[in-house]
Every structure is written in C-alpha cells, then in structure tokens.
Structure 1
Amino acid sequence: MFDAEESWKLLHKKAFPRVNTPDLKIDLELERLGKEMVSKCGGLPLAIIVLAGLLARRPKIDEWRRTCQNLNLHMSGESFEQDGGIHGVLALSYYDLPYQLKPCFLYLGNFPEDQKISARRLYQLWAAEGIISLEGNRGEETAMMERGERYLHELAQRYMVQVQLEETTGRIKSCRFHDLMRDTCLSKAKEENFLKTVSPQHLHQSMHCSTSATATSMRTVRRLSITVDNEVQNYFSTDDKSFQHVRSALFFPIQTGREGTEYPLPLFQGLCNNFAMLRVLHLEKFTFVEILPKAIGNLVYLRYLSLRHSHFQKLSSSVGNLKYLQTLDLRVNFFSYLTLPNTIQKLQNLRNLYLPPSHQHTYKLDLSPLSHLEILKNFDTQVSPFRDLFKLTKLQKLSAVLSLESYEMEEMIKHLNLRSGRLRETSFRIYYRFHSEKEVNILKLLSGCPHLRKLDLIGHITKLPEHHSFSQSLTKLTLRKSGLEEDPMVILQKLPKLFTLSLRGNAFIGKEMCCSPQGFPLLKTLKLQGLPNLESWRVETGALPNLVHLEIDECKKLEMVPEGLIYLTKIQEVMIINMPENFQNRLQEVQREEYYKVQFRKNFDTEKISKIKFNMRISGPMFGGLLQTIYPSTVPKEWKML
C-alpha cells in the first residue's frame, strides 16, 4: 500500500503523460482535487492507476471538479467501508465508459480468474454476440479486427485491462484482468443481468434452486460461464428447459488430470436440445466419445463454435446445419487425428476456420465454396486440393501444410504473391527436397513471399537462398533434414526480424558453426536438435544480443558450451537434452563461475510423455511423422520418410 505522498506521485505520473507540454499546467487547485480523489483509493496502486486513466482524458480543472463530485456522490450511495473505497473507484471507471465499451468490458467476466485471453478470440466472440458489428465497407475481418482492437485499446488506456503486445507487429496479442478489476466486472455483470458465472464451489446455489425468484432469473439469463470439475453432469440435467433463452455458453474445465474432463454423451445431447438459441458455444479441453454426436446440428443459430484441445475422432455431418456460423475452431488434441465431413462446405457464412493439426484424409475435403473465409489455419494439401485456395478471394491469414510437386508449388506461390495486397500473413510447413537449381529457385520464391511469417522446411536443401531472398516479415524458421553442408548461420543471422530458429534432425551436417557480431539481432529462441556432426559452435561478442532461451538436444559431438554465452545478458534458460558426459562436465564448470546467472535444465521430463494417453490407430511411419513435429529424436530411423 502507498502512503498519501506516494499515491499522489503515482496519480500525477499516470494522469499527466504530457506534463511538460506548454498547453498543460498543473495548478494548486488541480493538485488539491487530485489529492482528495486519490485519498479514496486506499493506497492501492491499481485503484490509483485506474483513477489516473479516467482523469488523463479530462485534463481541465472543471472536468476534475465534476469527476470529484461524481466520485463522492457515487461512493456516498454505496457501502465501501470494508475496502476503503477501492471498489467505488473501480466502479466509477465502469460508469465512465462509453455505451459501446460497457458490454465489451462485461464480456471479459466470462473468463476464469488469471486466464490470459487471446485478443483475436475475444474479437470473434464480440462479433458473434453482436457486440461489435461485422459490417464495413472494407474487408469485414479487417473492419471487425480494427474495431475490436480499438475498443480493447481504449480499455487498456483506462487501465481496466492489462494487455500484451505482439513483438513483431505491435498489435494487441492478449489481455487479462487484475483480480480486483475482475471482481468489479462480475459485480456489474450481475447487477445488469449480463452474465451468470457458475463454479463447483457455488454450484448448489447457482444452478439448481427451487425458488420462483431463481427460476425467473434463469429464464432471463442470456450468457453462462461455467467452470466445471470432473462431474459435469451435476451442472444441469439433460431435460432441463430453463436454459432455452441462453445465447452464450462458455465451459471451462478444471484440469485436475492429464486426460481432460470427460463430457458424457447424454449430457452433450441434452445441451444441444435445451440450449437451442445458442449463438456461442465454447467447449475446450473436454474428452467426448469417438464421434461428436449429430445433435450438434440442432444449434442452428450458432455463430461461434470452439472445440479446441478437446478429444474426439469424428465430426458429425450435421455440422453442415450451422448456416450462421462465423468461427469454427477444430484445433483438437493433436493425437485425435480427426475425420471431417464435406458438409463443412455448406457453412458459407464462415469467416474463421481452424482445422485440426492432424487430419484423417480418406477423401478430399472441398473448401472452395467457403468464399467468405478470412482466416484459414492448418490447411493441408493432402486433405484438400491446393487450388481451393485460389477461390478463397477474401483470405487474409493462411497457415498451410504443403506436399506438392514442383510445378504445383510454383503455381501456388505465384498466385499467393499476386494476391499479396489482401493476404496479410502466411505460415507454411513444406515437405519437399530442394535438390536441383530449379528447385532452389522455387525455394527462393517461396521464402521471399512478402507476407511470410513462419516457415518450416522438411527435406533436403542443397543450398540456402541468400539472406536478401528471405521475406523481411519472417519471424520463425524451422529446418529439418536439410542436410546442409555449409554453416547456415552465415545467412540466417542476417534475417532482421527472426525471433525463433530451430535446426532439427540433420538440418546441418557440417562440423563447425559460428554466430558473428551483430548476428541475429532479435532472436529470442534458438533450438539445436539432432545435429550429429557438430563439433564446434562459436558465439562471438555482439551476437545473439536478445537470446532468452537456448536448447541443445542430441548434438553428440559438441564438446563444450560456447564461451560467448557469458556475454548474453538477456538469456534466462539453457536446456540440455541427451548430451554426452564430457559436455555435462564442461557445463558444470561453467555453472560454478560466479558471473554466470543462467538457469540450466539438463534432463528432459520423460515422465510427462509416459503418461500421455494415445487414442490412435495409425501406422508406424504415420506416427513417426506426427512425432517429428513434437520431439524428433524419439522417431525410429525406419519411420523417417525423407
């Protein structure tokens, strides 16, 4: 807690970011009003900062007088003796919001305490609920994103939410609540009957009560946020009709085990039958039966459906009934190996489609009719024809797995480059051998796509393109099985925006590697995995200035940790896996040096892997292909396809 003087100093700093400009002067009256208001914050920094966020938008004396009067009037009408007025100050920040921001703020109460909330997901939920409109003269996704980000940015400017920015773009990546601000949000949401939250601790008094008042309340509920334990069936019965007016249902499991919370079939069918007016259904990290039942098709008004990180192996064709769906997130558990129905092509209002990371491709999945798609994740050319992408003319963000012939690759790259004005971001995982000069030229075209953010190359590469051939937007690069004989660092260290680099599974087969001064100016994560011939790695002074995480895995001939690591002031963790004894001994010597502050982790946590439940029936080579993505050194040689 701050004393009176410290409280005033903090308010002064946050409320007057332009204090030195000539058009803004702080006189004694302004200071008196500020000290009077800040005294009601009880010395709590959060309350002081929120009050400052409100006052910063009203720099004139008469505006401060009005705010002080409102604060006094507001607090006199409610009891805040127990918290010293803290919640009164926080509540005033809510009442001060413009009308369009109030539902945006209240909606954040849906999410559990301390949860990091994806900004893009939040915008999609706001759009599905009609809190922000999809209408716009420009691209609808662009209009929705810009409006959503503008609203969230204003909440952050008022210090009502904490935001994290994307390092590469500067845009808001995620947000979260302070506990006290979340309490204020839930209090106002309850007052305005905006949202009902349910947790195991309050289950007996929240969901099932025989009083007529509670029954009447339930009939007016429009949004439910339910945190559930392993006994999901305790939350509502399969024939409960009191939820027929609910428009939004977000379920959050308490992760007490490693396998996720089981969602029984009768309960899921009851949800689909009794929540018939739903616009939003969020069911993440649950385990369902093998086939998600056809009852899902009863929710014909759905705009948003997320089953991310859940486990099931087949999606019912009835999903094609969801004609109003805008967002469909099927990024299920990686080992679910999901089969999708072609009825997805009926969802012609779909704007955001997140496909599973591992598909069952018994037939081609046709996505070409989805002409409104703006975000497409995990598109796989072994599952869907690559030319389907040419028909998705509104596509702005694409993540794809490509297994194509050279002429197909050329055709696709040329098409994507022609549409670079609309397409803002692409990420590729590519299975291909770049042997001949023609194939290396294709790699140049591919790596130079102006909107390329992430690139994962799996297969032999005779020679890397020069650094100027790579996209200036590239932030993450993974090379696997490349068989490069020349030191790749010579080229890769010159990529200006590279944040993450992984060299895995014989990506480099040479003996020496060097990171030169000023090399890798922004790199934060470096992973060296399965480089069998690497004997010497030098890190020269001035290289890797922003490195935070280093992982060295199964580089059996590497004799010592680079001495240059001691000059990397930002490094926090070095992870050592499957390395020989002489390397471990050298590592212990480095750790004994007093000036070395890095945390070393020498052992991979194999216990976590041993307890994973695999519900799959797939061949050895196919299983190996999946493991290569997670932990390549575990894949038997006979399973390696390239």
Structure 2
Amino acid sequence: MAEDVAERYLNELVERYMVLVGKRDASLKIKTCRMHDLVRDLCLSKAKQENFICNDVNNISSSTVGKVRRLASHDSFMMINHFKIPHLRSALFFDNTGQIVENLRDSSTLFNCLGIKWFDSDDDEVPEIFKAIALFLIAHRITGLVRYICKNFKLLRVLDFEGVPLIACKILADEDYINVPDDVFGRMERLRHLYLPKKILTKSKLKLDNLRNLQTLINFNTKDYRLGDLSCMKYLRRLGITTPFVVENFMEEDLNLNPSIITSKHLRSLSIIIGKDGSHVDPRHLTYLLSRCVNIYELELRVKISKLPEPQHISSNIASICLSLSELDEDPLPTLEKFPKLRVLELSDQAFTGNVMVCSAQGFPRLVSLSITSLENLEELKMHEGAMPSLQNLTIARCRKLKMLPVELKFITTLKELKLEEMPKAFKDKLVQGGEDYYKVQHVPSVIFQNCDDLVSDELL
C-alpha cells in the first residue's frame, strides 16, 4: 500500500535526522513529525530562489504567482481572483472557500488536485470544479447536499460529515420527505477515508459494500448501515463504531457459523463508543468482533460491556487499551496484564465498579503509561513487587475513595512522572515531603498535584 511506502520513507528521513519525531503512538509508529530547523530554512531558501514558494502575501506579484504550482490557504486568499496561475497543480483550503475556487480551473490547465478543509453551504449546488478534482472534503454544515455530493464527487478520497449535527437522508423539502437511495455512496469507489455523521435519518440501511478501498470508517453502526459490508473493505485500517452494534442471528455455540465481519488484515485501530441511543454492547458480539481483528494495536471501548473478553480473543499485538463507561464488575487488571505488548492503559468513568484492583508480579511488562480516572468505588490499588517494571507515567484522578498508593511503587525505578488530579487533600498530604507515604514517591522526578487542596475524602463527608 502507498501509505506503507510513505511510512518507510519517513522512517528513513528520521534515521538521517532530516525529520524530527514529534509524537509516537502506542506501537511506536510516528504520529507527528516536524522538519529540522536547519533543513526547513534551507528548503525555504532554495524554494524562494527558484520562485517555487511564496509565503509573504504582502509581496505578491504576477511574476511570483505565475510560477506557483502548489497553493495552501489558511484564510480567504483573494489573489486567485486577480492573477492567472498557469502552472498551478494543487490547492489546499483550510477555510470556507466560497467564490474563491471558481476561477481555479480557468487559471491552469494542469490543475488536478483540490482539498477543502471546511465546507459550509446552504445552496443546492457547488462549483463544477469540485466534482472533477476534489481530493478531500470536510463538511461543516450541509443542507440538502448529501445525495448531490455522493453522486458527483467521484474522485473524493476523504469525506468527513462528522461535524454536521444531522444529515437527513429523508431530506425535508416543503414539508415533504424525499428519500435518498440506500446506495447513495455507490459512485465513490475511490474513497479512502469516510467519517459518517453522528446522527442520520434513513428509511433503510445504507449500502457501503462498494467502498472497497476504504481505509478509515468512523461512526459506523448497525442501525443505519449493513454489518456485512465491512467484510468488503479489505484495506480497512481504522474502524470507529457507535452503538447500536448488533450481530443479527448470532450463533454462540460456534462463532465460525456467524457471518464474516472483518476481513482486512490491515486493521490497526478499533473503537466502540456509546451512541445517542445509550445502548450497551453484548459481550458475546464484542468477543466475536475482536476475535476477527487479529492485528489491531489500539482498542478503545467507551461503552457498557459488563465483562471483558478472554485474552485469547484479543490480538496479542495490542499496544493501547482505553476503557470507559464499561461498568466491569470484575477486576480488569488480571486480564489486561497478560498482553505482552501493552504500553498504554486508560481506565476512566466507571470502567470498573468494584473496590479493589490488583496487579501481580511481572504483570504489564511493557506498560509505559497508566491512567486511572473517575473510578468512584475504587478503594485499593494493590501491586506485587516486580509489577509494571517499565512504567514511566502514572495518572490518578477523581478516585476519591482511594486510600493510598501501593508501597510497591517505590520499586518502579523507571517512573518519571506521577500526576494526581482532584484527589482529597488528605491523600495529597500523605505524599508531600514529610508525609507518611512520601517514601513511596520520593524517587519520582516529577510529582504533580492539581486541584487537590480543596477536596475532602468521601469518608469525612
């Protein structure tokens, strides 16, 4: 895949110190990067000498603009309406473009790439140029354009409806409902990244089976879309599901008898988030879904599941797990500590409803970051010596019943930062210098307390 080749080239540039890594994800893949200052200055200098780039809009001339090949605009770039740009090949807009792009086609016969970061329209139509060459479109507000866009924007690679409050596929027009066909995405075979609206009104489930090149699919649910269509997406890398998520006619006795869901071997990230209906996910359906995601390394579950799937049903490559609103009755740590490559773990907002969590010796061998937030019933966090030997960052927030930090924390010599947010003042006083538990954290280079002074333990209320 082209993205894999690009990633390989990027890693090569990093190894040569021409590009600096900003952030890495849980699997240590590069998430953000930036150019080295010296390399950037050199590139800008050479580009200006060749009239390849102009970043000073106050000194624009017809001779300068005439050689521009690639244009990026962060606000209304009205110079397009005043100059011919015969060599222009691509343009990227970060604002609502309005009338600006209408002259682009006339400016250059070589123009073949257009990106719009923000599109806002109440009109029935959009400029013809959008149909032929738009590369990606992030919609902010669209009234009555869903069918129009999907029918005419055949070359789109990215389509983002996520910021639109509501898309009615029964479009209200003069108080009559016009039904959009279920194959509204039928002509968008080149689409690679689709961010579906968070709320949609449909008469029947929309078809996505022709989107065979899709790599990103966000806000998918089984109420508005067909579950079986996911199996057609052989290159899917990132899947975001909102509830409801239901596997119809589920066969619990033999999971292999159920219809295939995920066939992509490239899937790396999976999230399931509670939708507007507030429904939970059947643990059996979750187990079946995860058992088909053999290569994922990021898992986010922000939905009630009551019970974690057994480790054998979850990819051993998992590097990041986020659990929220899960309402687990059983301690999740004995299950989660068995994943050998897990580096990031977040438990928040009643992910666990019990009182005690225990981490065994040698548990979480590669865990680097642990965040425990808003577990209202948590009273004890126990660790055996040898647990979490690689831990670097520990955050505990809004766990007001937690009595103390485990004494075994003093054995974790890799710990660089301990952050406590909105914890009771009595809890904080034990950990400051001179406190009875200070010896547990005195080896940590950075201990941060945020908004702990005014809170009182629930035991004193």
Choose which of 353, 362, 368 in structure 2 pairs with 1:524. 368
Greater fraction strand: 2
Q: Does 1:218 align with 2:218?
A: no
User: Aligned pair in 2 of structure 1 residues 591, 177: CA closer, same or farther (>3 Å)?
Assistant: farther
SS at match of 1:429: strand
Structure with larger Rg: 1
1:360 corresponding residue in structure 2:
199
Q: Does structure 2 retain, via aligned residues, the 8 Å contact 1:239–1:270?
A: no
Question: Which amino acid in structure 2 is aligned with residue 328 of structure 1?
Answer: V
Extract unaligned runs of 5+ from structure 2. Answer: 170-179, 453-461
2:177 corresponding residue in structure 1:
none
Q: Does structure 1 retain, via aligned residues, the 8 Å contact 2:350–2:375?
A: yes
The alignment's TM-score, normalised by the length of structure 2, stands at 0.76
1:371 corresponding residue in structure 2:
212
SS at match of 1:187: helix
CA deviation string 1:129-159 (max 9, x = no partner): xxxxxxxxxxxxx1x1243234334434443
1:557 corresponding residue in structure 2:
401
The alignment's TM-score, normalised by the length of structure 1, stands at 0.57
Whole-angstrom distance in 2 between the partners of 1:349 and 1:558? 53
Greater fraction helix: 1
Choose which of 245, 256, 259 in structure 2 pairs with 1:404. 245
CA deviation string 1:350-397 (max 9, x = no partner): 2411305x5221225443332332443443334433233234355454
CA deviation string 1:229-273 (max 9, x = no partner): xxx34x315743524652222356xxxxxxxxxx46xxx222230
CA deviation string 1:512-547 (max 9, x = no partner): 111222111222332223322211112332222233
**1:550-629 matches, cutoff 5 A:** 550-588=394-432, 589=435, 594-603=442-451
CA deviation string 1:311-361 (max 9, x = no partner): 546583443322222x2152755xx535387796155342411305x5221
User: Aligned pair in 2 of structure 1 residues 565, 600: CA closer, same or farther (>3 Å)?
Assistant: farther
Whole-angstrom distance in 1 between the partners of 2:128 and 2:222? 27
Q: Does 1:161 align with 2:8?
A: no
Whole-angstrom distance in 2 between the partners of 1:168 and 1:512? 27
Extract unaligned runs of 5+ from structure 1. Answer: 1-141, 210-214, 253-262, 605-642
1:203 corresponding residue in structure 2:
57
Percent identity, aligned pairs only, is 29
TM-superposed deviation, 1:404: 2.6
Whole-angstrom distance in 2 between the partners of 1:576 and 1:340? 44
**1:92-491 matches, cutoff 5 A:** 142=1, 144-163=2-21, 171-193=29-51, 195-198=52-55, 202-206=56-60, 209=61, 215-226=62-73, 228=74, 232-233=75-76, 235-236=77-78, 239-243=81-85, 245-251=87-93, 263=95, 268-276=97-105, 278-284=111-117, 289=120, 291=122, 294-295=125-126, 297-302=128-133, 304-305=135-136, 307=138, 311-312=140-141, 316-317=145-146, 318-320=148-150, 321-325=152-156, 327-330=157-160, 336-337=164-165, 339=167, 345-355=185-195, 359-363=198-202, 364-407=205-248, 414-416=259-261, 419-420=263-264, 422-429=265-272, 433=280, 440-449=283-292, 450-491=294-335
Question: Which amino acid in structure 1 is aligned with residue 361 of structure 2?
Answer: P
Q: Does structure 1 retain, via aligned residues, the 8 Å contact 2:221–2:245?
A: no
TM-superposed deviation, 1:166: 5.1
Whole-angstrom distance in 2 between the partners of 1:147 and 1:479? 33
Whole-angstrom distance in 1 between the partners of 2:23 and 2:303? 34
Question: Which amino acid in structure 2 is aligned with residue 222 of structure 1?
Answer: R
CA deviation string 1:444-487 (max 9, x = no partner): 33333313333333555454333333221222323334333332
User: Aligned pair in 2 of structure 1 residues 386, 440: CA closer, same or farther (>3 Å)?
Assistant: closer
Whole-angstrom distance in 1 between the partners of 2:366 and 2:374? 24
2:175 corresponding residue in structure 1:
none
